[in-house]
């Protein structure tokens, strides 16, 4: 009798445990669906949104933290210019939202790099780090312009991405090499890129990616605030000050000083920018003038009167040594180089 009773209790216990598990599982499933439990929503949003290309809004949903209007994400530096362009710092955006938006549009992104003469040594680490950190999960084409195709090593890129090597004739002077990339980008947009990509990012060769650089940078027109001039007065900017140059900027004008090593935007806006810079350089050349910082000076002139719609913080073009209170994550850095040797 006793053993039978014990048997019944044992069976009941098993059922109770089984039913409890079932209830617990259903409850957590419900929470994950409703976005009420972080652990499960993190898992479900990762499985549904990471690195896939979606065009149909109804086929997925994204779950993310609600923005808190009383908790601005950054208070130590301006994140909105007076012309209402965001200044992109780590922590002010949610990539889940941005990736979903850009995947919906199935965007194609081009990255141009010029590697002429000795600068081809930078290409391998630039592309390899880009494969790790640049626009993960999106369609990317790299365009490497070089005078020596055979010097560019074979680099395998991930599915959905391609590496295009383009032969160009180099220039004697390094100043001409760096300045002429405006013309070459402009002409190649006209010839090919206008139908191949939606956005174009133009980067110096002597750089490498050290952290994620994703769709947060994309917009109609973007420029990067030069790390050396972040808190400087406009009269301290190294703009061109000769008023007969097309790059001339008076001392009482200027918002930020932008670096020449990284800029971009929609392919049509980059066309306008490169066209302006090239024409301005040619007009100056006819007057026997070369702006103080070459293409960077013309770029600063363009950005003064065609203001970028997104400004990237110096996280996106940091030097290989120093640190800063403002910049927490260095996403792209300059590679150390011996100027005399490399430009020789």
Ligand X SMILES: CC(=O)N[C@H]1[C@@H](OP(=O)(O)OP(=O)(O)OC[C@H]2O[C@@H](n3ccc(=O)[nH]c3=O)[C@H](O)[C@@H]2O)O[C@H](CO)[C@H](O)[C@@H]1O
The residues annotated with a catalytic role in the active site are 296
Binding span for ligand X by CB under 6 A among 4-12, 13-21, 149-157, 200-208: 200-208
The residue (of 107 and 261) whose beta carbon lies closer to Mn ion is: 261
Residue number with the smallest Cβ distance to ligand X: 260
Tell me the closest approach of the beta carbon of residue 191 to ligand X, in angstroms: 20
198 binds Mn ion (CB under 5 A): no
Applying CB under 6 A, the span of 50-58, 114-122, 231-239, 300-308 interacting with ligand X comes to 114-122
Provide the sign of the torsion angle of the four alpha carbons 95, 96, 102, 106, taken in this order: positive
Q: Are 186 and 275 in contact (CB under 8 A)?
A: yes
Q: How far apart are the first and last CA of the chain?
A: 100
Q: Region of 16 please: left (phi>0), alpha (psi -120 to 50) or beta.
A: alpha
- 131, 196, 198, 204: residue in contact with Mn ion (rule CB under 5 A): 204
Determine the Cα–Cα distance for residues 159 and 4; give it in Å rounded to an integer: 65
String of contacts with Mn ion for each residue 229-268, x by CB under 5 A: --------------------------------x-------
**Is residue 278 within 8 Å of 226, Cβ to Cβ?**
no
Cβ(197)–Cβ(267) under 8 Å? yes
Residue 176: other Cβ atoms inside 10 A: 16
Q: Which two tokens stand for residue 7?
A: 């048997």
Among the candidate windows 204-212, 231-239, 301-309, 315-323, which touches Mn ion by CB under 5 A?
A: 204-212
Binding site for ligand X (CB under 6 A): 114-117, 119, 174, 177-178, 204-206, 259-261, 293-296, 343
Please report, in range form, the residues annotated as the binding site: 114-116, 119, 204-206, 226, 238, 296
Residues at the interface with Mn ion (CB under 5 A): 204, 206, 261
């Amino acid at each position: 009798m006793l053993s039978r009773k014990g048997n019944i209790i044992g069976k009941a216990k098993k059922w109770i445990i089984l039913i409890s598990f079932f209830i617990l599982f259903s409850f957590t499933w419900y929470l994950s669906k409703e976005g009420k439990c972080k652990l499960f929503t993190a898992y479900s949003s990762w499985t549904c949104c990471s690195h896939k290309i979606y065009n149909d809004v109804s086929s997925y949903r994204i779950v993310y933290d609600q923005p808190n209007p009383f908790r601005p994400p950054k208070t130590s530096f301006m994140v909105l210019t007076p012309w209402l362009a965001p200044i992109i710092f780590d922590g002010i955006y949610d990539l889940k939202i941005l990736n979903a938006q850009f995947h919906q549009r199935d965007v194609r992104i081009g990255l141009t790099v010029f590697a002429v003469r000795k600068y081809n040594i930078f290409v391998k680490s630039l592309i390899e780090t880009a494969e790790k950190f640049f626009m993960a999960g999106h369609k990317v084409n790299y365009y490497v312009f070089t005078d020596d195709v055979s010097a560019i090593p074979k680099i395998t890129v991930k599915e959905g991405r391609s590496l295009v090597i383009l032969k160009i004739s180099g220039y004697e002077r390094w100043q001409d090499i760096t300045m002429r990339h405006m013309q070459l980008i402009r002409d190649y947009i006209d010839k090919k890129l206008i139908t191949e990509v939606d956005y174009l990012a133009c980067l110096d060769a002597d750089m490498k990616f050290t952290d994620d650089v994703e769709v947060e940078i994309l917009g109609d027109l973007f420029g990067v605030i030069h790390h050396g001039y972040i808190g400087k007065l406009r009269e301290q900017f190294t703009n061109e000050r000769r008023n007969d140059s097309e790059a001339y900027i008076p001392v009482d004008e200027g918002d930020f000083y932008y670096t020449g090593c990284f800029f971009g935007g929609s392919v049509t806006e980059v066309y306008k920018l490169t066209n302006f810079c090239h024409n301005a350089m040619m007009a100056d050349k006819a007057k026997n003038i070369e702006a103080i910082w070459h293409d960077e000076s013309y770029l600063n002139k363009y950005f003064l009167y065609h203001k970028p719609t997104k400004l990237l913080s110096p996280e996106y073009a940091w030097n290989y040594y120093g640190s800063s209170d403002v910049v927490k994550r260095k996403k792209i850095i300059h590679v150390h180089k011996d100027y005399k040797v490399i430009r020789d």
